[in-house]
Amino acid sequence: MTEELHEIRLHVNGTSYALTVPGRRLLSDALRHDLGLTGTHVGCEHGVCGACTILVDGAPMRSCLMFAVSAVDAELTTVEGLADADGSLGPVQQAFLECHGLQCGFCTPGFLTTITAGLRDNPRPTHAEAREMVAGNLCRCTGYQNIVKAVERAAELGAGR
């Protein structure tokens, strides 16, 4: 039994990669293990925790619920693509650092991508909106208070603009 393989290209953080994958290869696995972009994490593989969230054409998506072959036409952004062009931390990353928004760091990439997209849609969230923005991601370490603070701080730093 040999699996049919597909030759595809993925566009991630502005770089185009060629890879050969079976149809069932999850996008999360392709990013992590085929392209070596291990910043995207897998916490549940069933779409609930949000650790694997990446931006697909700017919109947050759970890469564990997508196949690599279905992402060929999209522009993908992972946590590795969130730093500023000069290499310094992007505003959402900087806000997490300042607010102690992470402990073990496993959920963090999913929060960073989610918030990046969230603040783009709503650069000046109210406190309730800041909470709402991260309400679909699980973190087992921080208790979320500092993550919400980080959303507000990132907005101050101009993340959405």
Partner 1 sequence: MTTKLVGAKVQRVEDQRFLRGQGRYVDDIDVHAGTPTLHAAVLRSPHAHARVRDIDVEAVLDVEGVHAVWTYQDLADLSVNLADPLPLLIPHPALTHGRTQYALAKDEVNYVGEAVAFVVADDRYLAEDAVDRIRVDYEPLPPVVGIDAARAAEHLVHEDVPGNVGARLEQEVGDARAAIADAPHRLSLDLTVERSASTPLEGRGVVARWDPDIGRLQVWTSTQTSTGVRAAVAVKLGLDLGQVDVITPDVGGGFGVKINHPWPEELLVPAAARALGRTVKFTEDRREHFISAAHERGQVHHVEVGFDDDGRLLGLDVTFWHDHGAYTPYGLIVPIITSTQLLGPYKPQSYRVVFESLYTNTVMVTPYRGAGRPQGCFVMERTMDAIAAHLHKDRTEVRATNFIQPDEFPYDQGLVFQDGRELEYDSGDYPRSLEMIKRLVGWDEFEAFRAEMAAEGRRVGIGLACYVEGTGVGPYEGAHVHIETTGKVKVATGLTTQGQGHATVFAQLVADELGVPMTDVEVVTGDTRRMPYAVGTFASRSAVMSGSAVHLAAKRAKEKVLRIASDALEADVDDLEIVEGVVSVKGSPGASIDLGTVAVLSNPLRYAFDEKSRAATQFTVGDPGKPPVAEDDEPGLEGKDFYSPERSTFASGMHAVIVETDPDTAEVRILKYAVVHDCGNLINPMIVEGQIHGGIAQGVGGALYERMAYDEHGQLLNASFMDFLMPYVTEVPDTIEIDHLETPSPLNPIGVKGAGEAGVIPSAAVFAAAIEDAEAHDHPGLAITGMPISPSELFALRQAQEPLLKQHEEDA
Q: What are the residues binding partner 1 (CB under 8 A)?
A: 1-2, 22, 24-25, 29, 32-33, 36-46, 48-49, 51, 78-80, 82-83, 89, 93, 96-98, 100, 102-109, 112, 127, 131, 134-148
Does 100 bind ligand FES (CB under 6 A)? Our answer is no
> Which option in partner 1, ligand FES, none does residue 62 bind, with CB closer than 5 to 8 A by kind?
ligand FES
Closest CA to 64 of 76, 47, 80, 49: 47
Q: Shortest Cβ distance from residue 6 to partner 1 (Å)? A: 14
CA angle 117/118/119 to nearest 5° reads 95
Q: Which stretch binds ligand FES (CB under 6 A): 13-21, 102-110, 126-134, 152-160?
A: 102-110
Does 106 bind ligand FES (CB under 6 A)? Our answer is yes
CB 129 within 8 A of CB 150: no
The token pair at 141 is: 């370490």
Contacts (CB under 6 A) with ligand FES, residues 122-141: 139-141
Helix (H, G, I), strand (E, B), or coil: what is residue 68? helix
Does 144 bind ligand FES (CB under 6 A)? Our answer is no
Q: Shortest Cβ distance from residue 124 to partner 1 (Å)? A: 19
Contact pick of 31, 68, 82, 102 for ligand FES (by CB under 6 A): 102
CB 78 within 8 A of CB 109: yes
CA angle 13/86/91 to nearest 5° reads 75
Does 59 bind ligand FES (CB under 6 A)? Our answer is no
> CB atoms < 10 A from the CB of 55, how many?
23
> Which option in partner 1, ligand FES, none does residue 16 bind, with CB closer than 5 to 8 A by kind?
none
Q: Residue 150: phi, psi to the nearest 5? A: -65, -35
